Amino acid sequence: MNKAVIKKVFSYIGKYKIYLFLSLLLALVSSLCALYIPVLIGEGIDCIVSPGNVDFKFLTSIFIKVICFIAAVGASQWAMNVCNNKITYNVVRDVRKKAFDKIERLPFSYLDSNGSGDIVSRVIGDSDQFADGLLMGFTQFFTGIVTIIGTLCFMLSINVYITIAVVVITPVSLLLARFIASKTYSKFKLQSQTRGEQTDFINEMVENQKVVQAFSHEDENLEKFDEINQRLKIHSLKAIFYSSITNPATRFVNSLVYAAVAFTGALSVINGSLTVGFLATFLSYANQYTKPFNEISGVITELQNAFACASRLFELIEEEEIIPDSPNAKVLSNVKGNIEFKNVSFSYSQEKPLITDFNLKVESGMNVAIVGPTGCGKTTLINLLMRFYEINSGEITLDGVSTKDIARKSLRTSFGMVLQETWLKNGTIRENIAMGKPDATDEEIINAAKAVRSHYFIKTLPNGYDTVIDENSEALSQGQKQLLCITRIMLSQPPMLILDEATSSIDTRTEMIIQNAFKKLMEGRTSFIVAHRLSTIREADLILVMNNGAVVEQGKHEELLKRKGFYYNLYNSQFDD
């Protein structure tokens, strides 16, 4: 078991010391009361000496005492379980919250390189497994330890020699538990990792079911799922195999202890040094003494699974975050939109350079189009401008201030961004439009919708602007979803615009209407348009033609066509007969 993981778990448990103290105290009370019951039963047996010679008065008092102690055991165990539940689910809540907070602060590079299904599996599945193991550990581990120590003390007070016989065999259980623990941790961690991989694959297939069916890729996906499922089966079987050794192995040791107590106890009764009642007490203690070893071995197995899941959660929590804003980060006001790239270099991996020594100067109010073949760095340029990724070297300035010295929130709210992929949250149409301006009035929302011609289809929906939708809503077409995203930007009226294939999912007629709306919106605003359809950017003030991460040509549409260079070939390729 990883000591570092245990230390981290206890750092979270430390916040709930009062519940921990109460749980330990109640475990002590529960165990001591349970341990005293066999003494009373033994005394009761000794009251029955022979036929006609039974002390009923003393038996009655013993019977009442046993009932009282049983009630005390039940009440203390109930209260202990309440405390354990408080500790467990508070700890898991804290860990899960911290993991989710971390997701909000993770760099895009991590999210790009790790499957969303695996991340979901860590935050939900692994935290649930962690909770189950931790709850079982608190419920049985404390009680088991107290029971073992208490039983030994009671047995020593009755007969030292029989107790020694019990203690001599005890290390066998400890050695078995240690052996099982050393094997199960790595197996459960592999099981957890493979489960995350499976969740990620299922998540991907569900989200892209139409694409899978369109390309008749069902059989290949079934084969891949079967392969992951087979690996999960193997890892799960190995983990369960080692953990299942616990019960029969510890039961075997329990039987040895019980036999040792019965044999030595019987000899003591024959010698007259022990009564039959106390032998019955000893045999009861033998069961009580060995039972916690059986439970604790099972608890260790569960804890191995819990700590394996916890380690994956802590790996997520300890991932490197986005570089935080500097303490003196500037909050923008009255943004003009003068942007400059100075000797900027960037690559997603060191082995494959993408953008090198890139320079660009964009003046306020300019309409800049970025074109080029797929993978040339168009969207990457936008990601760098918005600080979704940090540049490797060079500098990007906005109104003369380095973007690294500007608060991210201030920088990003200065841009209105419409992407090729739509993003809508679960809520009403009105809430989705007002995301960038939560205090917008109904009149402002409707005017923005009318400006981009989304008002008319919204009114046809069952509840109009109060219709509840989500990103996967089948009630809206892809074009209508895109219109809502554009309406959102129209409402917020940002000082700068980024349109990344913003009209790719819209029919030609609607696109013409939206282009006119964009023209109005872009007046006096610095705008960046990433486009594959070159017919949409003919009127741009500046067209940047990119290839392999570099600007190979720049100028206006007519100028670039006259040069008959890369843009000329790119443009004509879209209008070939």
- Whole-angstrom Cα distance, residue 416 to residue 521? 11
Same domain? 364 vs 460: no
Same domain? 52 vs 94: yes
- Whole-angstrom Cα distance, residue 20 to residue 41? 32
Considering 144-153, 262-271, 314-323, 506-515, the range whose residues carry the highest mean pLDDT is 314-323
In the chain, the amino acid numbered 215 is F
Same domain? 473 vs 500: no
What per-residue confidence (pLDDT) applies to 577?
Answer: 46
Q: Is residue 287 situated within a structural domain?
A: yes
| Residue recorded with tokens 């923008």 | 332
| Residue recorded with tokens 């996906």 | 221
Residue 275's CATH number: 1.20.1560.10
DSSP 3-state of 344: strand
Is residue 276 predicted with pLDDT exceeding 60? Answer: yes
What per-residue confidence (pLDDT) applies to 362?
Answer: 87
For the stretch 526-543, pLDDT in tens is 888 887 766 667 778 888
For the stretch 176-187, pLDDT in tens is 766 766 667 677
- Whole-angstrom Cα distance, residue 476 to residue 571? 33
For the stretch 5-55, pLDDT in tens is 878 888 888 888 888 888 888 888 888 888 888 878 777 777 776 566 667
In the chain, the amino acid numbered 166 is V
Same domain? 358 vs 477: no
Q: Is residue 212 situated within a structural domain?
A: yes
Contact assessment for residue 454 and residue 479, using Cβ atoms and an 8 Å cutoff: no
DSSP codes, 198-228? HHHHHHHHHHTHHHHHHTT-HHHHHHHHHHH
Same domain? 406 vs 488: no
Beta partners for residue 395, in sequence order: 342
Helix axes 276-317, 160-207, angle to 10 degrees: 30
- If one compares 173 and 453, the residue with the highest pLDDT of the two is 453
The mean pLDDT of 331-335, rounded to a whole number, is 85
Q: Is residue 515 situated within a structural domain?
A: no
Same domain? 268 vs 360: no
Boundary (domain end) residue, out of 317, 335, 352 = 317
Residues whose CB is less than 8 angstroms from the CB of residue 58 and which lie 6 or more positions away in sequence, other chains included: 43, 44, 47
The mean pLDDT of 75-97, rounded to a whole number, is 87
Same domain? 312 vs 334: no
For the stretch 294-303, pLDDT in tens is 666 667 767 7
- If one compares 412 and 188, the residue with the highest pLDDT of the two is 412
Host domain of residue 453:
423-493
What per-residue confidence (pLDDT) applies to 72?
Answer: 92
Q: Would you place residue 574 in the very low, low, confident or very high pLDDT band (cuts 50, 70, 90)?
A: low
Q: Would you place residue 112 in the very low, low, confident or very high pLDDT band (cuts 50, 70, 90)?
A: confident
Tokens of 551: 């600007």
Q: Where are the alpha helices (DSSP H) in 452-550?
A: 455-459, 478-492, 508-522
Residue 442's CATH number: 3.40.50.300
Mean pLDDT of the chain: 80
For the stretch 304-326, pLDDT in tens is 777 778 888 888 888 888 878 88
Q: Would you place residue 75 in the very low, low, confident or very high pLDDT band (cuts 50, 70, 90)?
A: very high
Q: Is residue 516 situated within a structural domain?
A: no
Same domain? 429 vs 410: no
Contact assessment for residue 529 and residue 370, using Cβ atoms and an 8 Å cutoff: yes
The mean pLDDT of 477-490, rounded to a whole number, is 82
- Whole-angstrom Cα distance, residue 311 to residue 317? 10
CA-wise closest residue to 544 among 380, 399, 404: 380
Considering 195-199, 457-461, 481-485, the range whose residues carry the highest mean pLDDT is 457-461
In total, how many domains does the chain have?
A: 3
